[in-house]
């Protein structure tokens, strides 16, 4: 029974409950779970529950009215509540140990903004970003625009512009006609592994492409966004809004551009054209995002 209680606990953690809120949630679901088990014994005494336990939880426990009401009372996002009502909570994913990752809010803000970039790109281009190097270039151009904007900080002598305090933390170097960030690529690989992003090989790649696959939002992306956008409320809204505004400008300008078109624009920028292959063209955000809350690691279930 220990594993079964753990499944209920993991679902609560996935929703975002912790501490007293998690204990309160478990206090509500446990008697519902016990009664559902008793009812099942009377009608399915001969059947083993192990192979269908998660289905049992969805149909008989998590979709129960007291559980749904409790979620709404705690202002859980309606998209998440809808999964409980429909009996379609992704229990298996929340129960797998490899689906838990620990990151600080300073890093989560990059993940959220990456997903928002891809979401807006899809709205404009009706496709994923292809080739991969175009995604690196779009994120670089977002940071470049921030670096060219006047900083609101009292320390304006660092040459970062607004990139001193907002924007991605990735550093970019020149790679022939595009830019590349190893740290960004590591994060992209992680997001793919966590199903926040998907990637697939392009059947008919262009001759000038180096990385011949497309990147787009994964099946877990929407739930991640609905949960963790709220975590950013404690950050400086001016800085986040400026970051998103610049990012949207870049997507609006280049979502339908080819790699050749983006490379041509990069060549028009002194920071790019004056650099040789392998040289840094732009450093990442200079300062960490901070909030009034503790910057302890946050457990993310995806």
Beta strands 298-301 and 280-282 are unpaired
Domain boundaries, the chain: 2-95, 101-301
267-289 confidence digits (pLDDT tens): 999 999 999 999 999 998 877 76
Please give the chain's pLDDT, 302 residues, in tens. Answer: 445 678 888 888 888 787 888 899 999 999 999 998 888 877 665 455 666 888 899 999 999 999 999 999 998 888 889 999 999 988 876 654 334 455 677 788 899 899 999 999 999 998 899 889 999 999 999 999 998 876 555 444 445 677 778 899 999 999 988 999 999 999 999 888 888 899 998 888 887 787 778 999 987 787 777 667 666 655 557 788 889 999 999 999 999 999 999 999 999 999 999 999 999 999 988 777 665 444 444 455 55
Residues in Cβ contact with 154 at an 8 Å cutoff, skipping those fewer than 6 apart: none
Smallest CA-to-CA distance from 151 within 142, 164, 138 is with 164
**Residue with the two structure tokens 């990151």:** 103
- Determine the 3-state secondary structure of 100 from DSSP: strand
Q: d(Cα 291, Cα 187) in Å, to the nearest integer? A: 22
Residues in Cβ contact with 26 at an 8 Å cutoff, skipping those fewer than 6 apart: 5, 8, 9, 12
Q: d(Cα 88, Cα 77) in Å, to the nearest integer? A: 15
- Inter-residue long-range contacts of 99-104, CB under 8 Å, 24+ positions, other chains counted: 99/194, 99/301, 99/302, 100/299, 100/300, 100/301, 101/190, 101/194, 101/299, 101/300, 101/302, 102/297, 102/298, 102/299, 102/300, 103/297, 103/298, 103/300, 104/295, 104/296, 104/297, 104/298
CA dihedral (102, 108, 111, 115) positive or negative: positive
User: Mean pLDDT for the chain?
Assistant: 82
Residues in Cβ contact with 296 at an 8 Å cutoff, skipping those fewer than 6 apart: 104
Contact 170, 139 (CB under 8 A): yes
Q: What are phi and psi of 46, to 5 degrees?
A: -90, -5
Q: What are phi and psi of 147, to 5 degrees?
A: -70, -20
- Determine the 3-state secondary structure of 217 from DSSP: strand
Q: d(Cα 276, Cα 176) in Å, to the nearest integer? A: 8
- Determine the 3-state secondary structure of 200 from DSSP: strand
Beta carbons within 10 angstroms of residue 56's beta carbon: 18
């Amino acid at each position: 029974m220990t594993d079964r209680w753990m499944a209920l606990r993991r679902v609560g953690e996935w929703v975002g409950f912790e501490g007293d809120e998690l204990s309160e949630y478990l206090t509500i679901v446990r008697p519902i779970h016990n009664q559902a088990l008793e009812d099942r014994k009377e009608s399915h005494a001969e059947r083993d529950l192990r192979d269908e336990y998660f289905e049992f939880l969805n149909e008989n426990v998590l979709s129960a009215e007291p559980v749904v009401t409790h979620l709404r009372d705690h202002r859980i996002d309606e998209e998440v509540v809808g999964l409980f009502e429909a009996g379609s909570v992704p229990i298996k994913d929340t129960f797998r140990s490899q689906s838990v990752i620990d990151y600080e809010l300073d890093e989560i803000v990059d993940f959220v903004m990456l997903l928002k970039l891809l979401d807006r790109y899809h709205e404009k281009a009706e496709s994923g970003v292809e080739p991969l190097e175009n995604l690196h270039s779009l994120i670089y151009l977002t940071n470049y625009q921030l670096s060219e904007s006047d900083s609101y900080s009292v320390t304006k002598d660092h040459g970062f512009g607004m990139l001193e305090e907002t924007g991605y933390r990735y550093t970019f170097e020149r790679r022939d006609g595009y830019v590349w960030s190893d740290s960004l690529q590591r994060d992209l690989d992680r997001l793919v592994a966590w199903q926040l992003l998907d990637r697939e090989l392009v059947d008919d790649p262009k001759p000038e492409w180096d990385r011949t696959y497309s990147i787009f939002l994964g099946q877990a992306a929407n739930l991640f966004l609905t949960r963790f956008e709220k975590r950013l409320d404690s950050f400086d809204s001016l800085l986040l809004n400026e970051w998103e505004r610049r990012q949207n400008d870049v997507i609006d300008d280049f979502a339908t551009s080819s790699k050749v078109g983006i490379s041509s624009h990069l060549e028009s920028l002194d920071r790019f054209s004056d650099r040789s292959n392998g040289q840094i063209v732009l450093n990442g955000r200079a300062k960490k995002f901070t909030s009034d809350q503790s910057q302890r690691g946050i457990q993310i279930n995806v």
